[in-house]
Amino acid sequence: MARFKTMTGDGLRVEGKILDLRRIGGVSSVSLSIPSTLRKKYGDFRYVVVWGKATTLKGQLLDPTQRPDREPDAEGVYWSKGYDELSKDNRPYWAAAVYRGNVKLIWFPPSRRKKSTASFKYLQAVLADLRLKG
């Protein structure tokens, strides 16, 4: 996302490989994140970019831009509570998700609490500033 570089001066990198689920009627997607050296600045996050349209129910269920069956909060954020069974820290953590067109922002608050920070609001602003195609 050139938009991220323009607004922050920092670059995103492709995380892993492109996930191509077209063979089962799904979409293709790629996850973009920052190097671990920038995590203190922004927190742990990724933008998931999707292209194509799901053509089967299985494809729709695996589509990363499929919104949850619940309402977002007043700021348009979908919060999910989770637990890391492999961690020594057995406290729950919260994850935030925001959607814009074919892009999903996933962010994990450093405090593990259901609370936005200035860095998260900045990541949301990058997303909100995207021009939608079509």
Place of tokens 């637990």: 83
57: Cβ–Cβ under 8 A, 6 or more apart, which residues? 25
Place of tokens 């900045």: 122
Looking at this protein, which amino acid is placed at residue 78?
Answer: Y
> Per-residue pLDDT averaged across 94-104, rounded?
92
| pLDDT of 22 higher than 70 | yes
Single pTM value for the model: 0.84
pLDDT value at position 78? 95
Helix (H, G, I), strand (E, B) or coil at 123: helix
**37-92, pLDDT tens digit by residue?**
888 888 899 999 999 989 998 888 888 888 888 899 999 999 999 988 887 878 88
* Closest C-alpha among 67, 46, 52 to residue 4: 46
